[in-house]
Structure 1
């Protein structure tokens, strides 16, 4: 999949958000959100690409889990990542049924990874980073740089130390990959 020929329609985005919400509701035996009608969607929802599902509560992070790549259709990846974000983000206790109405879902659909040789290739706010050093790895989505206001050194340093666990300067001898993301949320697509 080339980033140039991958595009999600508004109907695709609505269906993916509905699928994520349905997946979380099903954890509690609820059927509040109707299952998405996929007949109006493009083939993009069946593409095999990485995706992250982010849960926010009152504008604060409540859970975020994703896959950099996937061998499953996007709609399935989103379903599975929504459940994981609600239940398995080690930074937070599992989401409860009473929180559902306060949680907003955001989805980031990822382009293929591109290995870079020089950090000058990273465009803050446009590119996410995936650092790999040995068995350790860490990822920041593109929006992290924008949300935090970090410069490039802080973006790399925080990812290396806080996500990959390889120390602040660990990025200097790690493999660095960049990617872009199509990001959309329930708040913007109401």
Structure 2
């Protein structure tokens, strides 16, 4: 059963676009709309992803930032994540307003991360590509990959773990170490079919 209704997902995606547009034009964060459904005031984790239209998956990403833990009400977290994805992702220069006409906006609403218990070598069998996202933590290092990422790149579970370690700035086999913590989570994903166009719920191949 979905936590986020389709109409709420559409609301969040449109809100993310409006937040980016407003920030690029006026340099300030918008307030949550008065018509925000009360359910979206619950604290939830969320990521906003910006993708270039018609680009292959390996070249499409233009920004992705969010909050893995439920620290803000979902409506506020979406506004903040959208702005950060547009102007604060260290991998990319800030988005220009002219780019928005060729950009697909995607919002992923996360479940709280769950620690994967047991021997490290059993971790691949406790995750599922197409369903789970991953967080790897060791010391001061931390990395997160959303559930859609291994689908886009064709990774299996072990490669997904290795790439999440790499995202954290750690050796790719660090998931085999007991001192490394690995968390999994799921996400409900909503994206525009075209820039500013209809919003659809995004299913993942192999998801469950």
- Residue 38 (structure 1) shift: 5.8
Q: 2:154 matched to which residue of 1?
A: 149
List per-residue Cα deviations over 1:67-98 (Å, max 9, x = no partner).
11132210100000000000011111100011
Q: 2:143 matched to which residue of 1?
A: 138
**Structure 1 unmatched runs, 5+:** none
1:6-25 matches, cutoff 5 A: 7-25=3-21
Find the residue that maps to 1:63 and give its secondary structure.
Answer: strand
In 2, are the aligned partners of 1:53 and 1:78 still within 8 Å (CA)?
Answer: yes
**Structure 2 unmatched runs, 5+:** 201-208
In 2, are the aligned partners of 1:129 and 1:140 still within 8 Å (CA)?
Answer: yes
Of residues 108, 111, 123 in structure 1, which corresponds to 2:128? Answer: 123
Q: Does 1:104 align with 2:104?
A: yes
Q: Does 1:189 align with 2:184?
A: no
Q: 2:185 matched to which residue of 1?
A: 179
Find the residue that maps to 2:25 and give its secondary structure.
Answer: coil
In 1, are the aligned partners of 2:32 and 2:76 still within 8 Å (CA)?
Answer: no
Q: 2:79 matched to which residue of 1?
A: 79
Of residues 29, 47, 55 in structure 2, which corresponds to 1:52? Answer: 47
Q: Aligned partners of 1:155, 1:37: CA distance in 2, in Å?
A: 38
Higher relative contact order by CA 8 Å / sep ≥ 6: 1 or 2? 2
In 1, are the aligned partners of 2:132 and 2:185 still within 8 Å (CA)?
Answer: yes
Q: Does 1:65 align with 2:65?
A: yes
Instruction: Give TM-score, length-normalised by structure 2.
Output: 0.80
Q: Aligned partners of 1:28, 1:145: CA distance in 2, in Å?
A: 31
Q: Aligned partners of 2:132, 2:70: CA distance in 1, in Å?
A: 19
Instruction: Give TM-score, length-normalised by structure 1.
Output: 0.88
Deviation beyond 2 Å, 4+ runs, structure 1: 35-41
